[in-house]
Amino acid sequence: MRILVACFSGTGNTRLVGEAILEELKQHGYTGEAGSVERVDPSGVDAHVLGVGFPSYGLCYPRILEPFFAGLKKRETPVPAFVFSTHAWSSGDSLTCAAEKLREKNYMTIARQSFKCPSNGARTFFSPDHFMHRKMVRFEEGLPQKIGEFADRIHQGVEAFRKDPFHDPGRKRWINEITGFVATHLMENRLYKDFRVIKTRCIGCGRCVKECPDDNLQMRDGKAEFLRGNDCLRCMRCIGICPVNAILFGERSRGKGRYTPAFRDELFQEAMKNPGQKPRSE
């Protein structure tokens, strides 16, 4: 059976987890690929199984997924799907909300899981010796085993679905709506603000402009600049990929570390080498 794992991944955590899930599923005989929702044409999706992954923003899925969900063609017969999220604090109702969107197009959720991953914000706003950095800039223990167990559940769900289609979206909790509001409007609005480019440091490579998933950057007079300030996804991709640290997210990020691809990959590879203790299901 052919699987498509479609992800939005601001700084790469979700993509790495999605690719690892896909590799585990291939051990069960599936074929397929992992692709970014920024590049996948949703109207052309015809996989036998659809996986959707994303980071949890404000305890829900990022709004960049809305065009993907809307663009999916409604399937004539039910198609099995799975959803997964990455989070630093909590996944909230993100998985259930995504499952409900997929159900509108006749994609039935058979498995869902959230994975604790490093916070690019904690890496950017806190020094390495700060307790928040130590606590949040890491992948959870037992990540390889948890990924493998999730792939097993997906496979078992597909087999059961072929005999008798079902849908398991989970349940929303009212506390998550309140917590999500607080996280978005109080915590994130205080930390993720004052986005700007240090023009004297910018080398005009244009990488941040090209890679921005929300079209919030442009080149002007050979230098990058924000169009809408912090009115964007706040995925922090630009600050992580800038080769000369020319982007600030407020003064708190000045002189701090950056969640670069190399730093992320090192953390992920280390986590995948150490199975650790058996993770508890979330």
DSSP string, 212-228: -TT--EEEETTEEEESS
Decide: 246 and 204 in contact? Cβ < 8 Å: no
Q: Looking at residue 40, which CATH number applies to its domain?
A: 3.40.50.360
* Domain count of the fold of the chain: 2
Q: What are the structure tokens assigned to 183, written together?
A: 């996280």
Domain that holds residue 87: 2-177
Is the same domain home to 9 and 97?
yes
Q: Give the residue with greater pLDDT, 90 vs 110.
A: 110
Q: How confident is the model at residue 102 (pLDDT cuts 50, 70, 90)?
A: very high
CA distance 226 to 50: 35
Q: What pLDDT, on the 0 to 100 scale, is given for residue 180? A: 56
Q: What are the structure tokens assigned to 131, written together?
A: 């307790």
Given a cut of 70, is residue 277 above it in pLDDT? no
Q: Which residues in the chain belong to E strands, given as ranges?
A: 2-7, 31-36, 49-55, 79-87, 107-116, 195-197, 217-220, 223-226, 247-249
Q: Looking at residue 239, which CATH number applies to its domain?
A: 3.30.70.20
Decide if 280 is inside a domain: no
What would the pLDDT profile of 134-192 be if each residue is shown by its tens digit? 999 999 999 999 999 999 999 999 999 999 999 998 887 756 565 655 566 556 666 67
Type and span of the H or E element at 18:
helix 13-26
Decide: 59 and 179 in contact? Cβ < 8 Å: yes
What would the pLDDT profile of 48-58 be if each residue is shown by its tens digit? 999 999 999 87
Q: Whole-model pTM? A: 0.91
Name the percent of the chain lying above pLDDT 70: 90
Q: What pLDDT, on the 0 to 100 scale, is given for residue 188? A: 63
Is the same domain home to 206 and 158?
no
Given a cut of 50, is residue 13 above it in pLDDT? yes
Decide if 184 is inside a domain: no
Angle, to 10 degrees, between the axis of helix 13-26 and the axis of helix 143-163?
A: 60
Helices and strands in the chain: count of H runs, count of E runs: 11, 9
Is the same domain home to 128 and 213?
no
Decide if 128 is inside a domain: yes
Q: Which residues pair with residue 97 across a beta bridge?
A: none
Q: How confident is the model at residue 280 (pLDDT cuts 50, 70, 90)?
A: very low
What would the pLDDT profile of 219-237 be if each residue is shown by its tens digit? 999 999 999 988 899 999 9
Share the mean pLDDT of the chain: 91
- Residue 54 CA: distances (Å) to CA of 10, 35, 79, 229, 249: 9, 12, 20, 23, 22
Q: What is the mean pLDDT of residues 248-271?
A: 94
